[in-house]
Amino acid sequence: MTKIGFIGLGIMGKPMAKRLLQAGYELVCYDIDPRPVQELAAAGAEAGESPKDVAGQCEVVITMLPNSPHVEAVALGENGIWAGAKPGTIVVDMSSIDPTVARSVAARLGDGGIVMLDAPVSGGEPRAIDGTLSIMVGGPQDAFDKVKDILLVMGASVVLVGEIGSGNVAKLANQIMVGINIAAMSEAMVLAVKSGVDPERVFQAVRGGLAGSNVLNAKMPLVMAGNFKPGFRIELHIKDLQNALNAAHETGVPLPLTSQVMEIMQALRVHGKDKDDHGGVVQYFEMLAGVKVRKEQPRDE
């Protein structure tokens, strides 16, 4: 079975790596924080000393990192993947980054015979834990075919979108739709509560109609419970929307709704809410209207 390197064991990377271990893959892990590496090592993985060390031992290297500069450093830095990987190694970057950076990193790795796929994910921590992420891939068909079974351990949907960078374009489109959907849900439910209507009943009334969505089903119960534990942090959604705005401006595409949601999230950052789950966007609308969207507690008879 293919020996896999996994670099980046954060809120998403750690459960994804665990899924690979549970599927029987040999795993060599690395993170700048030694604690998740130790946790994975206790579960049966090997601990790598650097991205270079990991790449030197593995045929496939998966990275799951916060943003573009981290991917560039891990792939191309002094002790980066490029320095240890053999020609023919496949690097699967599952981070959500700027598509132009994905293309430039792939080109630099390609000079050494290393093939890169960009394969960002959607679904957040719960789906990383149960292996049902949606994975959007950009890169060569032959490399995709070689790693598709590996990706299916972590995701329920794995789609090759197009050439390198296409995976991140799809992810940015996803994040635009998710962010706007959460904002629309929040605005609507604040209206319901301010009008004296139980948000749970509104949720049940609309979820089966055209307004129903995975976002509504996943986020509304958490909002009504006042549970904004991430999940997917607002600060990470800000990062994704910034990448979307950058890519859009480079290609001449205005994103007025995305810009508005970005400003809502920036306002929440000012109020110290950027570590909350992105479902916590509702708090912006709650502050404006002076109400909270919470499920009504049953009354004692």
Give the active site residues: 171
Phi, psi of 157 (to 5 degrees): -130, 125
Q: Which residues contact 169 (CB under 8 A, 6 or more apart)?
A: 99, 138, 161, 247
Handedness of CA 212, 286, 246, 154 (dihedral sign): negative
Instruction: Tell me how far the alpha carbon of residue 141 is from its chain's centroid.
Output: 23
Lookup: tokens for 95: 């981070």
Q: Which residues contact 220 (CB under 8 A, 6 or more apart)?
A: 185, 189, 199, 203, 207
Distance between the two ends of the chain, CA-based, in angstroms?
A: 62
Q: Quote the CA–CA distance of 291 and 270 in Å, as a whole number.
A: 20
Residue whose structure tokens are 């700048």 = 32
